[in-house]
Structure 1
Amino acid sequence: MKPVVLAAAVFAAALSFAARAEQVTLTVAAFPAVDKIVKSAIPAFKKLHPNVEIKVVGREYADHHNAMVTSLATGTGLPDVMAVELGFLGRFAEGKTLEDLSKPPYNGGQYTKKFVPFTIPLATNSAGELSAIPTDIGPGTLFYRDDILKKAGVTEKDLTTSWESYIEAGKKIKASTGAYLLAGANDIQRIVIRTGLKDGEGVFFDKNNKTLVDSPRFVRSFELAKQVRDAKLDAKIGAWSNEWSEAFKRGTVATQMMGAWLGGHLQNWLAPNTKGMWRAADLPGGAYGSWGGTFYAIPKKGANKEIAWEFIKFMTLNKDQQLAGFKQEDAFPALLDAQNDPFYEQPVEFFGGQKVRVLWRNAVPKIPAIDVAKHDPVAEEVIATELDKVLEQGKDIKAALADAKALIERRSRR
């Protein structure tokens, strides 16, 4: 082989090796339906970063977050990017195991005003660190069966004026149609404890970490839930159970309060046979809140932080990607720019032609920026257990909340 040819061959081999050496595998851990959104975005991301292969590790909601708890604690099995649902965000953010995205080399603070205002405080821990970037939110919504309401002679206003009118409407619905007002009485309790809060206030703890579960807000939430149970207005079934989905298919439950994303689930797999029967409204009693929401974070011990940050920016700051997630999986965009699109004005056939996306968009500015705490999941679990004792065993409400407070404070000190 001639020297020139040999040199060219060596150079080409070197280039080939360099190209292979630059190949990066980015691991993204997510839960349904975030994992589907990520997979759909891979081709567009690879056009910008052809050397990056993306491996999506998808697990069910609980399994995903439990796995992340273990990985962050041990430093093993960590993804490069992890999706975090709002309910776990406080725990992860306060754990000091996530990158502060507000500091170099990320400098994420320059982007915070691009997102729905209430999301950034949720992602900021007590040390002022920006632990994650929001990608979607779940504006709280009252979904109701229009056909059942008409049969009962009940209006949307009857459902939404106040919690008392909501319960009274439920009595009319049950008496005339046999349908339950809602699946579980605990749905009311979860919403009422989040009603009336101002920016910066917490659901279970105040800024000094004082437990709030014996406050009038919690007493009222338990009282309303008990009124529902005593009037036999709930079907006593839990969300995501087989009985829950069957109730929607058969029309035995008239309303369901949840995030806007439930609309897609109803349409696509929970109750596709009920097309045109559902409508959406704001929550009863002037309540506004976000039901869940997803954030992307980078573990401090992650291996590919630079490209992980590029991926997070692509998924959260790119209007097209934000809208794609909304159109594909009803993941309501956290990016403000993505809330200005003709797509919102389109009538939705599943909801009888109602422009439900406009309803959700109008609700977003009214949602307070609630503070999240490390032990919120603990408090949520304890409160749920005590509410069951009230509803199932007749336990006194104030005694139940006093016991809940004592247990939460004990477990929070561990």
Structure 2
Amino acid sequence: MRHLHKGVSFAIGLAVVGASLAACGGGGDSAGSGGGGQVELTIGTFTEFGYESLLPEYERLHPNIKITHHKTGEGGPYHQNLITKLAAGSGLEDVVAVEEGHFSDIVDKSSKFNDLTEIGPKDVTPDRWLKWKYDAGKDKDGRLIGYGTDIGPLALCYRKDLLAAANLPSDPEGVKALFASWDSYFAAGQTYVNRTGKAWFDASSQLYNSMVNQLDVGYLDRSDKLTIESNPGIKQAFDRVSTAIQQGQSAKLTAFGNEWKTGFAQGSFATTVCPSWMLGVVKENAGPANAGKWAVTDAFPNGGGNWGGSYLTVPKQSKHPKEAAELAAWLTAPEQQLKAFQAKGNFPSQTQALTSPELLNSTDEYFGGVKVGELYAEQARKVSKAQYKGPGDGQIQENVTSPALRSVEQGTSPADAWQQVVEGAKKVTK
């Protein structure tokens, strides 16, 4: 899931004149908007997209457009509601955000969404985005049903002082050998546990989901056939994490729960998976007292990966599909995505944004002044392709594998927990 944070303050100075903004992703006047009459558009998002100042700006640039923003706090209920409204054939906004973990749930319903290459501005071309991000916005017939917003390139965050106390390397270069592969990561974790008696990582599901996302094929193949029993990488990842749990490496916390949040400040664990949006989560929960103790490194076991990010879609329910597509195109242009990054830390998926000085020179003093923009831009380029997510993929992750791993942390045998995974995944996809 995509758990975006609040209040990330990267030093980005953006000065983009109105004319250039209007020219990117749909001109100054909204073509097809009914001869100058006012067009009312709605947009639905969840958590934090950084659109609070962008939507009024779009209205100023397009006086004939009035936008109503429907914003939901949690992604789970939002996406359940989305599916309900799709089935009902009414109630959806003109522009609808969909998180990448739930995008699979609408791909098999893609006939209910517009092909953005047909209704969107013609100057919006595939090279606006990282190739894997663009490709993941298509359905199985190659129709583009989602414009990419943000991404979540993976890195690792760790407590420098805790690693140093265990006589392990703690500087960004020194830890790279520890984090080079999952074998080296778990080996370092065992050393840490043996020397300190404390937990190495925060929550088992965080690691497991990252490992599964690195596989060429996930829970479902491109024909939407469940691979839980035929894809050895899934079982291997489950076994490796289960072994680490039994070795005492897990803090046995539920990600994003209250104890997990306080664990950042209390030093309850030494490492955590850090997609770009997690930096704000770390800062918010670890607090000012731990500034400088946390570090982030571009080393990630077995290369790179992505966790999080979303798309903007235009359902066929929309009465103004062309205008809706123009709004979605403008919001996902590099200039606007940089502003969203500035406002909420949402990391851009646009190639031009990833090479901009504003992003590459952005630093975070909480993590020792590291150039976080440059670090995550490099991590994003390590992702070669997006793993196909079939219908039910997000539900398997949230409602099947994560509870099964928590049960191992509570004493269930890995064999019994794995059987829960197999049976649960079959129920989701039957």
Equivalent AA in structure 1 for residue 253 of structure 2: I
**In the alignment, which residue of structure 2 is the partner of 1:13?**
none
Q: Give the conservation status (yes or no) of the 8 Å contact 1:266–1:272.
A: no
**In the alignment, which residue of structure 2 is the partner of 1:302?**
318
Which has the higher Rg, Structure 1 or Structure 2? 1
Q: Which residue of the other structure, out of 225, 231, 254, is the alignment partner of 2:270?
A: 254
Q: Distance in 1 between matches of 2:299 and 2:122?
A: 33
**In the alignment, which residue of structure 2 is the partner of 1:209?**
224
Question: Hey, which of these two has a bigger chunk of helix by percent?
Answer: 1
CA shift in 2, pair 1:206/1:383, >3 Å: same
CA shift in 2, pair 1:195/1:405, >3 Å: same
**In the alignment, which residue of structure 2 is the partner of 1:147?**
161
Counterparts of residues 5-404 of structure 1 (less than 5 Å): 22-34=37-49, 37-60=50-73, 61-96=75-110, 98-106=112-120, 111-155=125-169, 156-177=175-196, 179-197=198-216, 202-214=217-229, 215-268=231-284, 271-282=287-298, 284-317=300-333, 319-343=334-358, 344-367=360-383, 368-380=385-397, 381-397=399-415, 400-401=417-418, 404=421
Deviations 1:273-294 (A, max 9, x none): 4222221124543232111111
Deviations 1:285-322 (A, max 9, x none): 323211111110111112322221111111112x2211
CA shift in 2, pair 1:210/1:63, >3 Å: closer
Q: TM-score, normalised by structure 1?
A: 0.86
**Any idea what SS the aligned residue of 1:159 has?**
coil
Equivalent AA in structure 1 for residue 332 of structure 2: T
Moved more, 330-339 or 279-288: 279-288
CA shift in 2, pair 1:389/1:108, >3 Å: farther
Q: Distance in 1 between matches of 2:245 and 2:131?
A: 37
Deviations 1:208-245 (A, max 9, x none): 33322223212221121112211212111111111111
RMSD: 2.6
Equivalent AA in structure 2 for residue 224 of structure 1: R
Q: Distance in 1 between matches of 2:116 and 2:325?
A: 12
> What stretches of structure 1 of length at least 5 have no aligned partner?
1-18
Residue 270 of structure 1: how far off its partner (Å): 5.6
Residue 147 of structure 1: how far off its partner (Å): 1.9
Deviations 1:39-73 (A, max 9, x none): 12023212211232222111122222122121111
Residue 84 of structure 1: how far off its partner (Å): 0.8
CA shift in 2, pair 1:235/1:246, >3 Å: same
**In the alignment, which residue of structure 2 is the partner of 1:4?**
none
CA shift in 2, pair 1:104/1:168, >3 Å: closer
Equivalent AA in structure 2 for residue 52 of structure 1: I
Aligned-pair identity in percent equals 26
Q: Give the conservation status (yes or no) of the 8 Å contact 2:151–2:306.
A: yes
Residue 106 of structure 1: how far off its partner (Å): 2.4
> What stretches of structure 2 of length at least 5 have no aligned partner?
1-33, 170-174
Q: Give the conservation status (yes or no) of the 8 Å contact 1:84–1:297.
A: yes
Deviations 1:180-219 (A, max 9, x none): 211112222212222242xxxx311122333222232122
CA shift in 2, pair 1:272/1:95, >3 Å: farther
**Any idea what SS the aligned residue of 1:160 has?**
coil
Residue 119 of structure 1: how far off its partner (Å): 1.0
Q: Distance in 2 between matches of 1:242 and 1:20?
A: 53
Q: Distance in 1 between matches of 2:421 and 2:382?
A: 30
**In the alignment, which residue of structure 2 is the partner of 1:14?**
none
Q: Distance in 1 between matches of 2:411 and 2:295?
A: 35
CA shift in 2, pair 1:46/1:400, >3 Å: same
Q: Give the conservation status (yes or no) of the 8 Å contact 1:101–1:109.
A: no
Deviations 1:124-149 (A, max 9, x none): 11122211110110001211111222
Q: Distance in 1 between matches of 2:188 and 2:160?
A: 13
Q: Distance in 2 between matches of 1:304 and 1:149?
A: 56
Q: Distance in 1 between matches of 2:282 and 2:224?
A: 38
Q: Give the conservation status (yes or no) of the 8 Å contact 2:337–2:353.
A: yes
Q: TM-score, normalised by structure 2?
A: 0.83
Q: Distance in 2 between matches of 1:149 and 1:116?
A: 35
Q: Give the conservation status (yes or no) of the 8 Å contact 1:133–1:297.
A: yes
Residue 30 of structure 1: how far off its partner (Å): 0.7
Residue 383 of structure 1: how far off its partner (Å): 2.9
Q: Distance in 2 between matches of 1:97 and 1:242?
A: 40
Equivalent AA in structure 2 for residue 329 of structure 1: K
Q: Distance in 1 between matches of 2:89 and 2:65?
A: 23
Q: Distance in 1 between matches of 2:411 and 2:263?
A: 25
CA shift in 2, pair 1:80/1:262, >3 Å: same
